[in-house]
Amino acid sequence: MYKTILLEGNIGSGKTTFSNYLKQSQIANRLSIHNEPIDRWRDLNGLNLLKAYYKKPNKRAFLFESYVTLTMIDHHRALPCNGTDIKVMERSYFSAIRVFKPTLVDQHLMSNYESEVFDAITNEQLSQYADALKYDLVVYIETPLDMITNNIYCRAREEESGHIRVPYLLELNHYYNQWLENLPDSIPVIKVMNNSTRKHLEFMTPTYVESIVKALDI
């Protein structure tokens, strides 16, 4: 049996950076890192859904987020690699439905009709894949807004360039906090403070790993 960690955080918060530091940590040999399935969003039979969404979010938010839930279910169902016993998932099905979806509704990018259909679909998915969607710990990368916007600018993803606005990022922060605050007591949350340099985050990673080991009781 294995443990599952959800590695969460806003767009550009540093999830991939932190997961790379985990690969060099004292428990690296026990970890199976499953990165966000962005390649699938960029190539669905030759179609770049991520680019299409950012180009016309008011028309394609429902389409894109619905596909995200499908890929995230596969993300959850994937087994750890090479006999490891801790699965680390960069993003999850739950951030799609608890964070991004309500943000899209609030930003008027998903209509009430689309919202109701989305909820009907995801409620069925939650029931059908309940066992696969179980998790043991959330590690949340908490990053100041100015660092987030700088990270987005510096990584210069073609799809994101010029399309991600501050109000959208603030709304995502709001719904992340709301989701984390309402998690069951049985699910611990570790907040990684990414408010300095990458070198500082790398230096602090062993401390966060100790918290992870304690939270998972491994």
Question: Would you please indicate which residues are annotated as catalytic (active-site) residues?
Answer: 90
Sheet with 31-34, edge to edge strand ranges: 31-34, 86-90, 3-9, 137-142, 189-193
Alpha-carbon distances of 136 from 3, 21, 57, 133, 152, rounded to whole Å: 6, 21, 33, 10, 29
Beta strands (DSSP E) in the chain are 3-9, 31-34, 86-90, 137-142, 189-193
Q: Are 180 and 92 in contact (CB under 8 A)?
A: no
Distance CA 213, CA 171 (A): 31
